[in-house]
Amino acid sequence: MSAAAQLYALAGATLFAGGLAGLVLHRQLLRKVIAFNVMGSGTFLVLVGLGTRGGQPDPVTQAMVLTGIVVAVAATALALALARRLLDLTGGMQLPGKAPND
């Protein structure tokens, strides 16, 4: 595995860990959606970094990442539409629980 591929994989793992922390720590729904997107971007970066065969990019991995990006955009649009509906119905986008801390 080349140094660039290792760098991509490491950066992707860092993005995934940061997104996971944001998903767990934040109560606001919009921040959770953003954190989930950061996790997805990290996953795609890891796949691109690790998806090489003999120093050449693997076209199957590239096709999977491209398909994943399209699905992630559609899922984000759905999540934002549902968040907007929640805002209209309840007047806020906080998830139930203790007092807001962020």
Please name each of the domains of the chain with its CATH number. 3-90 (1.10.287.3510)
pLDDT at 4: 82
Give residue 77's identity as a one-letter amino acid code.
Answer: A
For the chain, residues with pLDDT lower than 70 are 1, 95-102
Question: How far is the first Cα of the chain from the last one, in angstroms, to the nearest whole number?
Answer: 41
pLDDT at 90: 83
pLDDT at 18: 96
Phi/psi class of residue 94: alpha, beta or left (left: φ > 0; alpha: ψ in -120 to 50)?
A: beta
- Specify whether the CB–CB gap between 35 and 45 falls below 8 A: no
pLDDT at 64: 93
Taking the C-alpha atoms of residue 75 and residue 92, their distance in angstroms, rounded to an integer, is 21
